[in-house]
Amino acid sequence: MCIREDLKGALGIDGPDLHHNLSSTDLFHNAIANDRGRVRRDGPADEQKAYATKLGEQGPLVFYTNPDITGRPVRDTFCVDWPEVHDEIWWKADLQAFPADKIEALYERVTAHVNANSPRLYVQDLNAGWLPEYAIPLRFVGEYATHALFASNMFVSESVGIDDVEAKRWTILNVPSFFCEPERDGTRSECCVIIDIRHRRVLITGAADYCGINKKSIFTVLNYLLPAQGYLPMHASANIGKDGTSAILFGLSGTGKTTLSADPDRLLIGDDEHAWTTSGVSNFEGGCYAKLIDLNKDAEPVIAAALSMPGTVIENVPPVPGRDLAETDPQDLDLSDQSITENTRFSYPLSCNPGVAAGAKGPHPSTLVFLTADAFGVLPPVSVLDEDEVIFHFVSGFTAKLAGTEVGVTEPKAAFSACFGAPFMARPASVYAELLAQKVRGAKTRCILLNTGWTGGPYGIGQRISIKLTRAMLNAALRGDLHAPDMSYKTHDIFGLKMPTHCPGVPDEMLDPRTTWDDQEAYNAKARELKAMFVQNFEDKKFGELGIRNVMAG
């Protein structure tokens, strides 16, 4: 069946010209020529959205989203509330129930709009996942060539041996030119992101043209599907050492997942989304999606080099003042400029990394790392976790974010996201926690909590732990040094965490965070304050009712 007949039968789409499985180069040129929409709040709705740099097709595509949606529209993200999934979904503000009696009419309006108004659609046939036992065939259908290029980067373009593709295929239908009418369509606003498990579709409409929506929607789908197979989906990076042992690193945005997994001495499995199956760790994706704000090119040379490679997408980095993008080398872009958004992003294929594990997979992990960027400056730089602590910190998913950027008024804020990715966890947190406990126990995986945040005081007083010291602690954990029989520990009297008293390459006095503060009482007060936040989050989420032990109780 040809692609036109296929789309007409599956989606009712038969009006636009179809561009099927274009190369990255062709998508690059189509994006510049055809992607139009709003890029300024006070601008027209048909401005150019994609641009070349001085490197032309040999360099990145620079794309600008609708200025009102420069990140995931969490309040506009839904799952269709079909009876067969109602009791399985973790309904929450990030994944709301969409009325089942509204979805078919909305589909029909969107396809009628596309047939009447969309001059062209870009269609890319891909896969989400590298292993045939869980991977799903994925068809991207959308109005923007940029989104098709992003999907080609972020999903797997080669065959992974999936059987019965047509019966398993999921479809993303991305239509930025269609604006919902909330009262009529059942949406909250003019845009929507709707996951429909019964029909294996993701519908994205309106101003929600942030590229990351496409990948995170499918991550949510896989987070729903895999637990039924006994596999653990993870918001984590992963890599393999020269000794053949693998590691997984969980963490929220800004904690160092991408940076720490991109290690020249280790092979990359992936930087963000993985499955822990019966055979080991496997990447969901064919690419990486890194934050660019304040990128340190010396500390992150892999990402820096990829900025100048073809087939990549730079998102919402402003032009250099007074210079056209066509005259700008991508290395000259100001990566500290957050005038559009703090959430500037960069999509690049796995092949941009100098060393990638064959098949983007590895054995069962020898080491599991929870990353947290504690801006309060009170958590130990590194702690060794027992099984109860692993589950507690997994469902807590803590990091500390900065409330703003103005000098003198910025205060750290605690952020808790269960499983280090609550918005994308389609099932209750206990489902993933139980799977993690089983996997860790079965593989005898060593587990640590690694603080990539502040020491010597909170943000504004102390200093951020250097990438050099963080890598020293991570490497010690990967070698097994922190779990060695001759290692000695101190137990933190407030958090109950077990702190190694020595780590190669790290000053001993730094390993106990209290000793790095000038004011010991101020440290104790701030540590108790953070502990109270952990306890409150645990109680608010009712994790105790799920049989999870509160390791910070008392």
The set of catalytic residues is 72, 216, 235, 253, 257-258, 272, 345
Residue with tokens 């499985």: 21
Other CB atoms within a 10 A radius of the CB of residue 511 amount to 22
Q: What would the DSSP string read from start to end of 179-190?
A: ---HHHH--SSS
Structure tokens at 289: 């999606």
Structure tokens at 51: 């641009």
The size of the chain, in residues, is: 554
CA atoms of 119 and 130, how far apart (whole Å): 34
CB 473 within 8 A of CB 260: no
Phi, psi of 469 (to 5 degrees): -70, -40
CB 294 within 8 A of CB 276: no
**Cβ neighbours of residue 290 closer than 8 Å, sequence gap 6 or more:** 258, 271, 300, 303, 345, 346, 348
CB 248 within 8 A of CB 418: no
CB 464 within 8 A of CB 453: yes
Alpha helices in 139-261 (DSSP H): 145-154, 165-168, 182-185, 212-225, 257-261
Question: Distances from the Cα of 549 to the Cαs of 175, 388, 532, in angstroms?
Answer: 45, 7, 16
Structure tokens at 277: 């199956």
CB 293 within 8 A of CB 405: no
CA atoms of 203 and 141, how far apart (whole Å): 10
CA atoms of 513 and 492, how far apart (whole Å): 9
Question: Distances from the Cα of 359 to the Cαs of 129, 262, 353, in angstroms?
Answer: 10, 17, 14
Alpha helices in 14-117 (DSSP H): 24-34, 100-117
Q: What angle do CA 136, 160, 175 make, to 5 degrees?
A: 40
CB 433 within 8 A of CB 546: yes
Which of 49, 97, 75 lies closest to 196 in space, CA to CA?
97
CA atoms of 258 and 297, how far apart (whole Å): 13
